[in-house]
């Protein structure tokens, strides 16, 4: 049976959290799609952990503070979640169009200045769906 699509799941640690902002993340999506994996970008949606009271934000759990975005692509989507205090980035690329997962992983590590890690020892997960 042929696979329907490809999913790349990246878990990066020890990143440069100064890159966890809308400008740098939007630039990441632009270069990743347009130059690295040849995907047509569509809508981009954002969600940031915010609170009107700075004290509440400063005392929020580390797993809540960060920026999330969904970059829709013509063939599916790319999702990113940053955790500012932990200096982690989580990226999921899913597409029914094939792409070079090594290029995507290397570019993601370069952009956020982190290293991909996970429990399987390979540093990333690729699934054919």
The CATH number of 6-69+78-112, from 1.10.645.10, 3.40.1190.10, 3.60.90.10, 3.40.50.800, is 3.60.90.10
Cα separation, 11 vs 108, in Å, equals 10
pTM value is 0.85
CB of 70 within 8 A of CB of 45? yes
Quick one: DSSP state of residue 3? -
Residue 64 pLDDT? 78
Nearest CA to 109 out of 129, 97, 123, 95 is that of: 123
Quick one: DSSP state of residue 14? S
pLDDT, averaged per 10 consecutive residues of the chain (129 residues), comes to: 82 96 97 98 88 64 86 97 94 95 96 84 54
Residue 41 pLDDT? 97
Cα separation, 15 vs 10, in Å, equals 13
Kindly list the domain boundaries of the chain, sorted by start residue.
6-69+78-112
């Amino acid at each position: 049976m042929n696979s329907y699509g490809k999913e790349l799941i990246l878990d990066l640690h020890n990143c440069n959290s100064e890159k966890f902002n809308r400008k740098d993340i939007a630039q990441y999506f632009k270069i990743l799609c347009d130059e690295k994996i040849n995907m047509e970008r569509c809508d981009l949606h954002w969600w940031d952990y915010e609170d009107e009271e700075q004290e509440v934000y400063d005392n929020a759990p580390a797993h809540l503070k960060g920026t999330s975005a969904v970059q829709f692509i013509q063939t599916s989507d790319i999702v990113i979640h940053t955790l500012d205090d932990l200096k982690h980035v989580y990226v999921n690329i899913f597409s029914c169009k094939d792409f070079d997962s090594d290029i995507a992983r290397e570019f993601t590590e370069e952009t956020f200045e982190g290293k991909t890690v996970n429990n399987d020892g390979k540093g990333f997960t690729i699934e054919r769906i």
